[in-house]
Amino acid sequence: MSKKNITIIGTGAYGTALANVLADNDNNVIMYGIVEQQVDDINIYHQNSVFFDNKKINKKIRATNSMAAALENTDILILGVPTTAIKHVVNDIIKYAKKPMDIINTAKGLDEENLGLLSDKIKKYFEKSNVLASYSALYGPSIAIEVVDRQPTAIMIASETIEKAKELCDVFSNEYFYMYPTTDIAGCEISAALKNSIAIGGGILKAYNAGDNAHATLLTLGLNEMYEFGKHFGAKLETFLNFAGLGDLILTASSKKSRNFRLGETIVELNDAKKALESFKLTVEGVETARIAHEIGIKYEINMNFFEIIYNILYNNVKPISLLNNVFRDVKLV
């Protein structure tokens, strides 16, 4: 595989981790960021200390705060920004892009406006331009710090064709970062979004010292609800058993490295979801996802007992003990 010119929009933790992987694979990697201090940190000191202290990243990675410069020769563009920033970023990309590019999304979530898939919304943003050569997205258990440390990691890339997915696997895969292809964008996207809300529940049970039996049960019923939700969008069952589904769910709902998991613990500590959310400085994706999933469940009459409970904890300030008392009753299994 020949070298690719790859642009990563955003200088966040996950974007930096992917930049390191791609630079290790001898690609030309440039990161676009709006914080000048981060851009300088990457260019001068070869680190992104906001997220990784003084840990070094590949010296070949370049950074810029000029969108035009970032898109000068791009073959592959990675959207490494939060869901809320995507529309604004896409407008800038369309303005400065020189040619069609393979677009890869890393944001996790659902489409709040249309109560549907985020991927459909992103593709719609690009549809009146000639920028989008193909759409893909990354999913799976890949905590950024472990990727930067070059610890073994396996994820999925979901593309519209299996040929494109396999081509991109060759760009990313190496001796510590393993990527596998799929065309089930819907199944991967739903898994990636909903597992964040389930992780909040995992943190709640952990803070109550509910035990390993309860934790395993929560993951099982959560996976079942993910699939029931996904069926409505044509998702395949096998997707919920791969790295995007089961793999990411186990990680996110079990690890203190997960912001969603830590939020669940904090909700119990304060016995108040509203206060817990006010105390959190970082984005916790599972909060917004729980609300949108709840609304989609109502709209399409999807049986989602866990999501109803977690929604009430997060948005109606129901006490977190309600999860422990009610989530294991009348579980519907696939």
Q: What is the gyration radius of the CA atoms in the chain, in angstroms?
A: 20
Tokens standing for 163? Answer: 């040929």
Separation CA 78–CA 248 (nearest Å) = 20
Distance between first and last Cα of the chain: 42
Q: How far is CA 9 from CA 69, 124, 135, 305, in A?
A: 12, 19, 15, 37
DSSP element (H, E) containing 54 = none
Task: Tell me the binding residues for substrate.
Answer: 108, 259-260
d(CA 285, CA 189): 13
Catalytic residue IDs: 195
Binding-site residues from annotation for sn-glycerol 3-phosphate: 108, 140, 142, 195, 248, 258-260
Task: Give yes or no for a contact between 140 and 247, defined as CB atoms under 8 angstroms apart.
Answer: yes
Binding site members: 10-15, 108, 140, 142, 144, 195, 248, 258-260, 285
Can you tell me the distance from the alpha carbon of 95 to that of 131, in angstroms, rounded to the nearest whole number?
10
Which residues line the annotated binding site for NADPH? 14, 108, 144, 259, 285
62-64/110-111 β-pairing:
unpaired
Separation of alpha carbons 10 and 183, rounded Å: 26
Tokens of 291: 């609300």
**Is residue 207 within 8 Å of residue 264, measured between CB atoms?**
yes
Binding residues for NAD(+) are 10-15, 144, 259
The residue among 21, 75, 24, 65 whose CA lies nearest residue 42 is 65
323 residue type, one letter: L
Q: How many helices (H) and strands (E) does the chain have?
A: 16, 10
